Amino acid sequence: MKLYTHPGASSLSVHILLRETRLPFDLEVVNVTAKVRADGSDYWTVARRGMVPLLELDTGEKLTENLVIAQYICDRAGRHDLMPEAGTMQRYRVMEWQSYVAAELHKSFVPMFWPIDDETRALVLGRIRNRLGFLDEGLIGPFLTGETFTAADAYLFVIGSWTRHFGISTDEYPRLRNLLNLVSQRQSVRDALKAEGRGLVVIDDPDPTP
């Protein structure tokens, strides 16, 4: 398999899952904004939608869309901790949170990447804070669905970490802040961030050099 990703974009969550499952894969970091591949060629030639994540399978088939790729990876690896078995309520709970992050939080951040005026920015920030507050209230454990890290947490970690990129305080969301910190300590996360390079998600070095 081969994953196409952009540093710290939503594709990072798929990258994290690949490292969690330890499935073999190749990685290509692209500039999705400029639509340029690592070798300087046109990204549109491999990605008809021009977006990330894009997972190229060994068969030559390609999968897009974060939630679909996450399910494919977890199912292929048989990792029911990351994505519970089909037909179970536990799986639907993970998918429920994935959908919320995608439809409510992720989309709420999109205008922050645009040149917007102060009034619009205030409206966007209000929407983001509302969504963050809902997440904070909905957390039932250290992770979204309880005691176990799942694909939904990988996705929330990436989008939730954009708060730091845009200078949005998480002080009023202690449960969410704890989740982001907890996930940031996972080796899969640190390895994925190191492989992608500096981007939209930055975490503190656990052992900074003086």
On average, the pLDDT of the chain sits at 96
Distance, CA of 178 to CA of 167 (rounded, Å): 17
Q: Mind giving me the DSSP string for 155-193?
A: HHHHHHHHHHHTT---TT-HHHHHHHHHHHTSHHHHHHH
The count of other CB atoms within 10 Å of the CB of residue 137 is 10
Model confidence, pTM: 0.96
Hey, what are 34's tokens?
A: 């400029």
Q: Residue 208: what pLDDT?
A: 42
Longest dimension (CA), the chain: 51
Domain 89-186 CATH class label: mainly alpha
**Number of C-beta neighbours around residue 3 at 10 A:** 23
Reported as a single tens digit per residue, the pLDDT across 13-65 is: 999 999 999 999 999 999 999 999 999 999 999 999 999 999 999 999 999 99
Q: Are 94 and 85 in contact (CB under 8 A)?
A: no
d(Cα 30, Cα 41) in Å, to the nearest integer?
10
Domain boundaries, the chain: 2-79+189-196, 89-186
Tokens of 98: 């994935």
Number of alpha helices (DSSP H) and beta strands (DSSP E) in the chain: 8, 4
Give pLDDT, residue 205.
67
CATH superfamily assigned to domain 2-79+189-196? Glutaredoxin (3.40.30.10)
Rounded average pLDDT over 152-168 = 98
Mean pLDDT computed over 100-112: 98
Can 2-79+189-196 and 89-186 be said to share one CATH topology? no
pLDDT classification of 204: cutoffs 50, 70, 90: confident
